[in-house]
Amino acid sequence: MKDEFEFIDQIKPASHHQPSLVMGIGDDAAVYTSTQGMREVVCVDTMIEGVHFTKETLSPNQIGRKALAINVSDLAAMGAVPRFYLVSIAIPAVWEDEEVNDLYKGMQEVADRWKMDLIGGDTVSAKEALVITVTAIGQVEEGVSLYRSQAAPGDIVFVTGPVGSSAAGLELLLEKGRHASFNKSESELVLMHQQPEPQVEAGRLCAGTQARMSLNDISDGVASEASELAVASEVSITLQADKIPFHPALDEVVKGQEKKLAFAFNGGEDFQLIGTIEKTAFSSFLENALRAGIQIYPIGEVKEKAEHPVFIKDKDLIEPLQKGGFNHFKK
């Protein structure tokens, strides 16, 4: 990159989606008006080249898409409507201008999908790896709370779609590289890793449900996310192995229930939602989801606090389910 300020002028949006935006990129800080009856929801995630992605598995465009999508998924888990985002990026000299522009185009594609506006950030140089940090801002109605701490014994545990697909796609990419030839089912799994879809509509459905719920997005695998719900709510969760939903492409590519469950429980980056809801409200919740074209799969039940936060029931055998998803500081 030859000139930081020229680059900022290139990525500065020519227009904006949100009418509440007063001042976007171009001053010391962005300014937008709050909406009466709504609460602001803010999240941030960092992606580091060589840790979260490489050019062997994702194109620059897909890196940008994922960088924003993982934040949109966090907003979805709070039932929020995405509004704005900010980007802080550290760019090494080995990255070409065209690659960086493609990265921002990827973010813009996701932003346009949800009518989000880029309102600021920071651009600096890096010695080796590209580092991108995205902050996303959304809004949710006052009174809506889908916090992890709200699960209670007797609640039904659900997910909003098939899980394990992203991990299977990553395994294919690591084995063959993104320029390899894949069959139809393999290509579907690869794309589900490269371009995950945040479940904003499902989050909004949950936000409008008049029942006690807890919600989490599946970024680190079902085992890890279920454990977070259980620990925060001081309960335990029992999942049923035969209820875990898999995409048809995963069934086609991976022959063996054990490996598919390993992808689902410990793979992560599916960015589906996992949640709990009062048993008496589940049937109406499911009916509303079906009318909205949203998939809901019951996969287990919340129980009293136990020695372990999460258990897996496979036929008549019940065992503790250890969380084995990605952990930055796990040796």
The pLDDT of 235-246, averaged and rounded, is 98
Is 111 found in the same domain as 170?
A: no
Q: Report whether 45 belongs to an annotated binding site.
A: yes
- Where a domain ends, among 112, 141, 170? 141
127, part of any domain: yes
Q: Report whether 278 belongs to an annotated binding site.
A: no
| Phi, psi (degrees; rounded to nearest 5) at 98 | -65, -35
Q: Is the pLDDT of residue 328 over 70?
A: no
Integer angstrom CA distances of residue 319 from 157, 189, 235, 249, 326: 17, 29, 16, 28, 21
CA proximity to 236, closest of 326, 169, 151: 151
- Where a domain ends, among 141, 161, 191? 141
* Residue 50 DSSP symbol: T
Is 208 found in the same domain as 162?
A: yes
- What is the total count of domains within the chain? 2
Q: Report whether 154 belongs to an annotated binding site.
A: no
Q: What is the pLDDT of residue 163?
A: 98
Is 153 found in the same domain as 135?
A: no
Bridge partners (DSSP) listed for residue 159: 274, 297
With vertex at residue 149, the alpha carbon angle to CA 143 and CA 154, rounded to the nearest 5 degrees, is: 100
> Who has greater pLDDT, 324 or 124?
124
Q: Report whether 121 belongs to an annotated binding site.
A: yes
CATH number where 16 lies: 3.30.1330.10
Average pLDDT over the chain, rounded to whole?
Answer: 93
pLDDT in tens, 258-285: 999 999 999 999 999 999 999 999 999 9
Q: Report whether 311 belongs to an annotated binding site.
A: no
Q: Report whether 122 belongs to an annotated binding site.
A: yes
Q: Report whether 9 belongs to an annotated binding site.
A: no
Q: Report whether 148 belongs to an annotated binding site.
A: yes
Predicted TM-score (pTM) of the model is 0.92
Is 208 found in the same domain as 104?
A: no
328, part of any domain: no
325, part of any domain: no
106, part of any domain: yes
330, part of any domain: no
35, part of any domain: yes
Integer angstrom CA distances of residue 55 from 49, 226, 283, 291: 8, 31, 44, 40
pLDDT in tens, 26-75: 777 889 898 999 999 999 999 999 999 999 999 999 999 999 999 999 99
Q: Is the pLDDT of residue 11 over 80?
A: no
Is 215 found in the same domain as 136?
A: no
Q: How much of the chain, in percent, has pLDDT values that exceed 90?
A: 86
Cα atoms in the 13 Å half-sphere on the side-chain side of 318: 12
Q: How much of the chain, in percent, has pLDDT values that exceed 70?
A: 95
Q: What is the pLDDT of residue 16?
A: 83
CA proximity to 163, closest of 218, 232, 233: 218
Q: What is the pLDDT of residue 8?
A: 64
Is 213 found in the same domain as 285?
A: yes
Is 64 found in the same domain as 179?
A: no
Is 272 found in the same domain as 128?
A: no
274, part of any domain: yes
175, part of any domain: yes
Q: Is the pLDDT of residue 325 over 70?
A: no
- Where a domain ends, among 94, 123, 141? 141
Is 256 found in the same domain as 309?
A: yes
Is 159 found in the same domain as 83?
A: no
Q: Is the pLDDT of residue 331 over 50?
A: no
Is 137 found in the same domain as 153?
A: no
Q: Report whether 147 belongs to an annotated binding site.
A: no
**How far is Cα 102 from Cα 99, in angstroms, rounded to an integer?**
5
Is the Cα dihedral 97, 99, 100, 104 positive or negative?
positive
Structure confidence at residue 326 as a pLDDT band (50, 70, 90): very low
Which pair of structure tokens corresponds to residue 109?
């594609």
CATH number where 191 lies: 3.90.650.10
Range of the domain at 215: 148-320
Structure confidence at residue 327 as a pLDDT band (50, 70, 90): very low
Tokens 């709050």 belong to 34
Is 84 found in the same domain as 61?
A: yes
Q: Is the pLDDT of residue 202 over 70?
A: yes
